[in-house]
Amino acid sequence: MDQKIQSLPAKKNIALVAHDGKKAALKLWCIKHLNALSEHTLYATGTTGHLINKTTGLDVIQLLSGPMGGDQQLGAKIAEHEIHMLVFFWDPLASQPHDPDVKALLRLAAVWNIPVACNEVSADMLLSSPLMNVELERTLPDYEKYLATRQIDI
């Protein structure tokens, strides 16, 4: 597929998500990085967002709970370029009833070339990157060109 270049803004829209077995870890990570996170706009799935807001006071745009469609909402926002980074502490030791939604969210993050962290260390590295607070070029699928090739006359 053809690619094009589009910037991620300096002030990023960051999605925060954690499975139940990883919520405590994400909560501690948010407390540790309170100041850095407050410079960005935060989104989260329902239960994660409520927990982060309650324990840190950070403003969080709260979507539906993951199993009820929250992962899908985040995936749609990634496809629409509204989410610029994903911190998703998914639980490798627990099965999830909405596993297809989890896979879809991670897949769309890869399709649209946004940075993704899956645990504390990768999230530390992303947030401390010199690229975190600057406008950042990314390549992404050229959807308009793709659509033009899909116009089929029947």
Ligand X SMILES: O=C(CO)COP(=O)(O)O
Q: Catalytic amino acids? A: 71
Q: Judged by CB, which is closer to ligand X: 10, or 64?
A: 64
Query: Helix (H, G, I), strand (E, B), or coil: what is residue 64?
Result: coil
Binding mask 11-30 toward ligand X (x if CB under 6 A, else -) reads ------x-x-----------
Answer whether 23's CB lies under 8 Å from 31's CB: no
- By beta carbon distance, the residue nearest ligand X is 66
Q: Judged by CB, which is closer to ligand X: 65, or 133?
A: 65
Roughly how many angstroms between the first and final C-alpha of the chain, as a whole number? 23
**E runs forming strands in 45-119:** 61-62, 85-89, 116-117
Binding residues vs ligand X (CB under 6 A): 17, 19, 45-48, 65-67, 70-71, 102
